[in-house]
Structure formats: C-alpha cells, structure tokens
Amino acid sequence: MDSQLRPEEKLAILQATDLRHKWYSLDDQRVCVLCDRTITGRQIQFAREHDGSYSVHCPTPECPSVTSDWFYQGNASSASRIATLGTREANLWGG
C-alpha cells in the first residue's frame, strides 16, 4: 500500500476511482457492504498498480471490497423522511 500519498492526492484518487459516489473530503464516510464497517477516506488503502494507476481497497484485513461495495450511510429517502416528520404524521400513528 502506498503511504507516500499526500491527502489531496488520496482525495483526487478517490474522486477518480469511485464513479458512483462523490467524495468531498477524506472525512466522508461510507459503509462497506462486505464487512459491514463504516470507513472514511482517510482509512482507505491505496495501492499503486504496475501501470502507474491506483486502486483503492477497504482497510479491513481480508476484506476484498472496492468502491462499488461502499455506500453512503443511511439513504437519501430516510434522511428526508426524518426531516419532514411532523405533527400530521405523529397524529396518524399516535392518535
């Protein structure tokens, strides 16, 4: 694994390799669906390939996951639902 990368280089690699999710900082969190671990961009392992490109891997030992196996914590619909819960919905369930 390449420990010589600067933080801004790591972020740029994450942004280039994860085509499904936006990375705004190395503090962004994802959940690995293979090992069920919450990880940050700071924890992700970076490996330089023979052709000079980089690959990224879950930091959990023995976990083979890559970016396609990582998801945002929660989901957008549950977050918006929590934000919109109000008395109308509370009365529906609570009387």
pLDDT digits (tens, 9 = 90+) for 23-54: 999 999 999 999 999 999 999 999 999 999 99
pLDDT band at 73 (very low <50, low <70, confident <90, very high): confident
Instruction: Give domain limits for the chain.
Output: 7-94
The band of 7, judged by pLDDT with boundaries at 50, 70 and 90, is very high
Contact between 18 and 34 under an 8 Å Cβ cutoff? The reply is no
Supply the mean pLDDT for the chain: 82
pLDDT of 93 reads: 53
Distances (CA, A) of 24 to 7, 32, 53, 66, 67: 12, 18, 21, 18, 15
Q: Which residues pair with 7 in a beta bridge?
A: none
Q: Exposed, middle or buried: residue 35 (CB in 10 Å: 0-12, 13-18, 19+)? A: middle
pLDDT at 75: 56
**Pair 22, 9: CB distance under 8 Å:** no
The pTM score is 0.71
| pLDDT of 77 | 40
